[in-house]
Amino acid sequence: MQVNIAIATNINFYKKTIPIIVKSLVDAGIDKEYIFIFNGGFDKREEIVENEIKTIFLDHNSFEYAPLIDIAENKLESDYWFLIHDTCKVGPNFKNILCSVVCDNPIKVALKRSPSMSIGLYKYDYILKYYDKLIKIKNKDYSLEGLQKWKQWGIDSEDHLLWKHEPENTTLFNPDNSFTKIKQENWYGQSTVRIVEYYPQLDLYKNKSNWCPKKTMELNL
């Protein structure tokens, strides 16, 4: 089974976030050819390969759904895609856990019980099945108001293609181990207040600025 890693990033974040997450993936044993960076917020779609890793510059900024939209639109084949935010990093056990889950041929596997930030494993055929639903949330409005609107929508509609669909079964990496350990830290040296959540069920860390509903969601790193 081929599992590609889909990193969701954007024009404002990638220079600081991508080096951290990519290094952690490579250190965990993920081959570079299976790492794909989906970079939102540009004028046109373009693909490049740099340091053996493919970056796809996107003509839309659809936050964490941007990779799934591009995969569906451009038929980027793989048995599975693992969707991860650029503001994550993984530990040394990540690859082994991910590969062990694929052996069961699941449709989709969530990081934790909903809400799961859409982070999880998606079967390629499942992504294609919901092509129309994904295209409807493709955001090409780069204004502050447009980005804020879709960021708010994403909070209210979290796990839009993960927990939100039945009868397709959503499983968990470890149903008995979905707790988090939290501390305050900004990995990127910025002033935005961020917290770190650790998910031992996948050996994954998430650096978050939006961890509760707000009238105005944080859009800065």
What tokens were used for 64? 């964490």
The alpha carbons of the chain give a radius of gyration, in whole angstroms, of: 16
Residue 214 has pLDDT above 80, yes or no: no
Domains and CATH numbers, the chain: 3-175 (3.90.550)
Once rounded to an integer, what is the mean pLDDT over residues 140-157?
Answer: 93
The model's pTM: 0.96
Task: Provide the CA 61 distance to its chain's centre, in angstroms.
Answer: 13
What tokens were used for 150? 């879709």
Tell me the pLDDT of the chain averaged across its residues. Answer: 95
Cβ neighbors of 103 (< 8 A, separation 6 or more) are 1
**Beta strands 204-208; 88-90: pairing state:** antiparallel
Residue-level pLDDT at 156:
84
Least confident span in 28-37, 49-58, 73-82, 203-212:
203-212
What tokens were used for 43? 């004028």
What count of other Cβ atoms lies within 10 Å of the Cβ of residue 215?
A: 6
**Beta strands 204-208; 195-199: pairing state:** antiparallel
Q: Are 195 and 182 in contact (CB under 8 A)?
A: yes
Least confident span in 44-58, 73-87, 90-104, 147-161:
147-161
For residues 50 and 175, give the distance between their C-alpha atoms in angstroms, rounded to a whole number: 37
Residue-level pLDDT at 180:
86
Going from the C-alpha of 119 to that of each of 61, 114, 164, 205, the distances in angstroms are: 17, 10, 13, 11
What pLDDT digit, counting tens, does each position of 12-30 carry?
Answer: 999 999 999 999 999 999 9
What pLDDT digit, counting tens, does each position of 163-178 carry?
Answer: 998 789 999 999 887 7
